[in-house]
Amino acid sequence: MSSFSSSSSFPSSEDAQNHSPPSEEKEFAFDGDDGNVLDAILHRVDFIWERTRAKVEDVYHHPELIVLVLFSLVLAHFIAGRIFFNKGKERKIGSKNSKKRDSIVLCGQDGAGSTSAYLLLKNKSLGLGTVTSSIENESEVEICVSSSDRDAKEKRVKVNVVDVPGHAKIRNRFYERFLPRAKGIVFFVDGVEFSTNKRDVADHLYNEILIDYDNVRRKRIPILIACNKTDKEACSPATFVKKRLESEIEMIRTTRDVMLKDAQFDDGSRKAKKRAKEIEKKREREVTGLGWKDEWGKFSFDKAAEMKTHGRFLFCACSCVGEDREWKLKKEAEEKGDDGSDNNGDTNNSSGGDKTSNSGGSRNLSAVKAFAAEHAGR
């Protein structure tokens, strides 16, 4: 019976050159006896070993093959690294880890009008009507802003606009993706329904935007709160929206502070002390997130901007339906040969500190467009 150990040692280089591996056609017949079966298996192992050794020795005598293999490995490693790097780069764009701020983010409650405003900025018209968005909308639009000087030409600015869905169950994950990219935020409020859902609007603004330290507060991102649907008589004015939001946010802030204070219970045990520390850290994050101090009194947007806990807060009244109507009238006038000029065109109602506008841009989106054009170029 053949022994595996006797044939397993490497021969000299001359023997390797003259050695010819066993023929692959060699048959290993056995009659069913255990000894013959084992002998056949050992012969097969010897055959595979000799063939592998011959190939290895052949490579040793051809250095160009070694160079080719090494070059292939380096090239494969380089390609794999590039693919991995590009995928990681794609994941960062639009994610919460992205540091590139290039967009004006339109947001608000479901049905407040952010998608309608997006369609008007992109297509200049609502087309067949408004739609409720369940995914983000993003595109680069060209905004035309009229100057107060009649002799001056209209200013055209390219702005990247992102519309975030307003549905409560899905909007949070879109905020995580797009708030890190925001150069300015337009928060739309349904002026008709505001009196009945002001608490939900304030809770949305507070939890999703105002207490976001990394993406909103620390970067002093300006926020325009646009009271939409002023084309309807039941629409609340922007001044009313501002006061009610301040009251609701103050109520949310104080209520949560009281709840956190009441939750601090320490019976002397290690578990209770650990829980008390966790609650204190949570309260610190809450206070730090809003950046409000008790000595400042009740919350107000003016005070928040003054104390530099946030960027600028601006308020305006607007109407997506009015903007669509004006565009259609202007188009009809152009078709008839009229210049369609209007002295009450786009005006900037959102410059300076905290301002509230109910005129000029209240019947269209002029204040929203001026805000987007101003902060997109920064």
- pTM: predicted TM-score of the whole model, two decimal places: 0.65
CB atoms within 10 A of CB 173: 13
- Run of H or E residues at 52: helix 34-60
Question: Would you tell me how many other CB atoms lie within 10 Å of the CB of residue 59?
Answer: 13
Q: Helix or strand or coil: residue 361?
A: helix
Give which of 188, 175, 194, 191 is closest to 106, Cα–Cα.
188
Which amino acid is it at 182?
A
CA dist 193 and 203 (Å) reads 15
Q: How many beta carbons lie within 10 A of that of residue 172, not counting itself?
A: 10
Q: What is the DSSP letter of 22?
A: P
Contact 294, 250 (CB under 8 A): no
Nearest to 309 by CA among 191, 168, 377, 211: 211
DSSP secondary-structure letter at 198?
A: H
How far is Cα 274 from Cα 26, in angstroms, rounded to an integer? 76
Bridge partners (DSSP) listed for residue 228: 190
In this structure, the number of other CB atoms found within 10 A of the CB of residue 279 comes to 17
DSSP 177-237: HHGGGEEEEEEEEETTTHHHHHHHHHHHHIIIIIT-IIIIITTT--EEEEEE-TTSTTPPP
Beta bridge partners of 186: 106, 224
Q: Is 243 helix (H, G, I), strand (E, B) or coil?
A: helix
Q: What pLDDT is attached to residue 341?
A: 47
Dump the DSSP string for 299-311. --HHHHHHTTSSS
Of the candidates 121, 114, 116, 176, the one whose C-alpha atom is nearest the C-alpha of residue 372 is: 121
Query: What's the rounded Cα separation, in Å, for the pair 102 and 93?
Result: 11
Tens digit of each residue's pLDDT, the chain (378 residues):
444 444 444 444 445 445 444 444 444 454 555 567 778 888 888 888 888 877 777 766 767 777 777 888 888 888 887 777 665 544 443 444 445 788 999 999 998 999 999 999 998 887 766 666 778 899 999 888 766 555 456 778 899 999 999 888 888 889 989 999 999 999 999 999 999 999 999 999 999 999 888 899 988 999 999 999 999 999 999 999 999 999 999 999 888 766 655 555 555 677 777 777 777 766 666 566 677 888 888 999 999 999 988 999 999 999 998 888 888 888 888 888 755 444 444 434 433 444 454 444 578 899 999 999 988 766
pLDDT score of 357:
47
Cα separation, 92 vs 70, whole angstroms = 33
Rg (alpha carbons) of the chain, rounded to whole number: 36
pLDDT score for 254: 84
Three-state DSSP class for residue 12: coil
* Among 156, 155, 290, CA closest to 212: 290
Question: What are the tokens at 111?
Answer: 């049905």
pLDDT recorded at residue 43: 83
Under DSSP, is residue 106 helix (H, G, I), strand (E, B) or coil? strand
Torsion over CA: 64, 70, 75, 80 (sign): positive
